Amino acid sequence: MDNNFEDALFKDVFSKNKPTTGNLIKADAIEIKGLSKISFEDGESDGIRILLKKDQHDNLKEIKFVCSCGQTKSIILDYSE
């Protein structure tokens, strides 16, 4: 698979604990936490894709395994001491 997202930076946002209705999050209810690089890899097993999420300095932050059946498993890496 061609990796089109390799150099793209996406904003990481955190939703404040405000009551929401529906799937809409208003701009005053979010806080920008940083930037991320997102890439997709094909796993060796059929039907499993791997999503790699890195910060703007190429430090790996999250590994997400996405099955074609709809289930996902995530590993989140925290480098803070």
pLDDT band of 1, cuts 50, 70, 90: very low
Look at the pTM and tell me if it is higher than 0.75: no
- pLDDT (0 to 100) of residue 81: 67
Write down the pLDDT at residue 28: 78
List, in sequence order, every residue forming a beta bridge with 74; answer none if it has no partner: 64
75 vs 45: CA distance, rounded Å: 18
pLDDT digits (tens, 9 = 90+) for 35-69: 778 777 776 667 788 888 888 788 888 888 888 88
